[in-house]
Amino acid sequence: MNKMESLYEALANLDGFIYPNEIALNWDLLIVMYPYITGLVAGAFILASLNRVFDIKALKPTYDISLLTALAFMLVATMPLITHLGQPLRFYEMLITPHLTSAMAIFGFVYLWYLMVVLLLEIWFDYRYDMVIWSQQKKGFMKFFYKALTLWISDTSPESRKTDEKFGYFITVIGIPSAFLLHGYVGFIFGSIKANPWWSTVMMPVIFLFSAMVSGIALVMFIYMAINYLRKKKTDIFCLDTIAKYLFYILILDFTLESLDQIHRIYEADESFDILKILVRGKLFFTFFIMQIGIGTLIPITTLGFLQFRKPREKIRKILYLIISIFVLVGIFFMRWNVVIGGQLFSKSFYGFTSYKVNLIGGTDVSLSLLWFIVPFFILAFLIWLLPPWKKFVEKTN
């Protein structure tokens, strides 16, 4: 079904009145993927910094995996945005002629700062010593490649390692507010649109931030288990328990903040309340109550809460953690969906709704969204092959 046909279908299924230009949803599934992927980056990084800055030793096995996951997803984070543009080849205008009053324009710089200054540098300092060693061990092209990655610095003295450690630590410390900035900013892009009452809340950056942490932590938890499964290694259950503990705390915070936002909205009941009430109870019922709150929040919170007090056998715990990480990832996806798609389903005239159907067959939005979600896993596989965390030489020097 092409775009125009689906618009005619939406026109035939209008509820009430909507401004004629609003029948077409301008931001489709790709824009749902954009905050989703960015959130995964920020969340994975926060988990890494829990280990490094707050010195939570149990999380050590996931430190490098978190960083590489963050990088893999960061590299494609802007792709949903760019491929969604009406003129994708003009995207660079945003960087060379940014309009400084636009939240979206500044995002480009926040993104670059985070990618270049925080992620790449931190990973570089973290792996520099190992890359030097690997470049000495390998032959041919790989030798050259690792050398190039070290930027031809071959110092392996204890002093140089101390410097690596110092810089790495420093960058992680800068990285935490940067990760907050990155995803808080994505929230601001939506939260600052006063025309849209579903988006326009000062809580939006904070909610985005916490949901980002939740999703990133769940993703690393999932990837950590998947990697160990593929490598046929035993998963460190103590590490998983610790991740789960933090996931539990942050889920509670996230749920509290989102509830606060909704309770405030319901109690204030301003002019937009009637239409939003119909929206949430109607068009968003499945994605909001079932997927976001039920599957994505309440089930994980109760299960994780239970696991804080009772510890069943290791095998059962692992299965539960696996299910919960998937549930949380699905739930946060639908949280983004409810924000992005939900915010466009109702008319700014407050008199009606349009509809949005994902084009499962032949729609570019679905295929591209899937592509941008799958590509990071391939990048991650490549990164892990290139920089295997389990082949690092950390222990020897300690």
Partner 1 sequence: MVVKKGNFNRRDFIKHSGMLAGGVVLVSLLNPFKLVFATKKPEGNGKWYGIGIDIEKCIGCGSCARACKIENDVPNEPFFFRNWVEQYTIMNDGQIKVSSPNGGIDGFKQPVPDEAIYKTFFVPKMCNHCAKSPCTQVCPVGASFESPEGLALVDQSYCIGCGYCVQACPYGCRYIDPKKGVVDKCTLCYHRLEKGLNPACMMACPTGARIYGDLNDKESGLSIFIKENNCAVLKPQLNTGSKLFYNALSQEVH
Q: Which residues bind partner 1 (CB under 8 A)?
A: 3-4, 7, 11, 16-17, 19-24, 26-27, 81, 84-87, 90-91, 93-94, 97-105, 108, 152-153, 155, 160, 163, 189, 192-196, 343-344, 347-352
Terminal Cα distance for the chain, rounded: 62
CB of 198 to partner 1, least distance (A): 11
Spatial distance between the Cα atoms of 74 and 300, rounded to a whole number of angstroms: 26
CB of 27 to partner 1, least distance (A): 6
CB of 12 to partner 1, least distance (A): 11
User: How many C-beta neighbours within 10 Å does residue 323 have?
Assistant: 13
Specify the residue, 68 or 121, whose C-beta has the smaller distance to partner 1.
121
DSSP 353: E
Specify the residue, 16 or 388, whose C-beta has the smaller distance to partner 1.
16
Cβ atoms of residues 175 and 41 within 8 Å: no
3-state secondary structure of 372: helix
Specify the residue, 86 or 140, whose C-beta has the smaller distance to partner 1.
86
Supply 156's token pair. 């392996």
CB of 155 to partner 1, least distance (A): 5
Spatial distance between the Cα atoms of 48 and 63, rounded to a whole number of angstroms: 5
Radius of gyration of the chain (CA): 22
Specify the residue, 99 or 281, whose C-beta has the smaller distance to partner 1.
99
Specify the residue, 2 or 313, whose C-beta has the smaller distance to partner 1.
2
Would the CA dihedral through 50, 235, 331, 340 be positive or negative? positive
Specify the residue, 31 or 212, whose C-beta has the smaller distance to partner 1.
31
CB of 306 to partner 1, least distance (A): 41
CB of 397 to partner 1, least distance (A): 17
Per-position DSSP letters for 7-38, written without gaps between them: HHHHHHT-EE---GGGSS-SS-HHHHHHHHHH
Supply 339's token pair. 């924000």
CB of 192 to partner 1, least distance (A): 8
- Give which of 99, 87, 159, 174 is closest to 129, Cα–Cα: 159
3-state secondary structure of 271: coil
Specify the residue, 97 or 398, whose C-beta has the smaller distance to partner 1.
97
Specify the residue, 132 or 239, whose C-beta has the smaller distance to partner 1.
132
Specify the residue, 98 or 294, whose C-beta has the smaller distance to partner 1.
98
Specify the residue, 237 or 278, whose C-beta has the smaller distance to partner 1.
278
The kind and range of the H/E element at 43 are helix 29-52
CB of 125 to partner 1, least distance (A): 11
Per-position DSSP letters for 172-216, written without gaps between them: HHHHHHHHHHHHHHHHHHHHT-TT-TTT--TTHHHHHHHHHHHHH
User: How many C-beta neighbours within 10 Å does residue 20 have?
Assistant: 8
CB of 109 to partner 1, least distance (A): 11
CB of 350 to partner 1, least distance (A): 6
Spatial distance between the Cα atoms of 214 and 334, rounded to a whole number of angstroms: 13
Would the CA dihedral through 242, 244, 247, 253 be positive or negative? negative
Supply 112's token pair. 């670059």
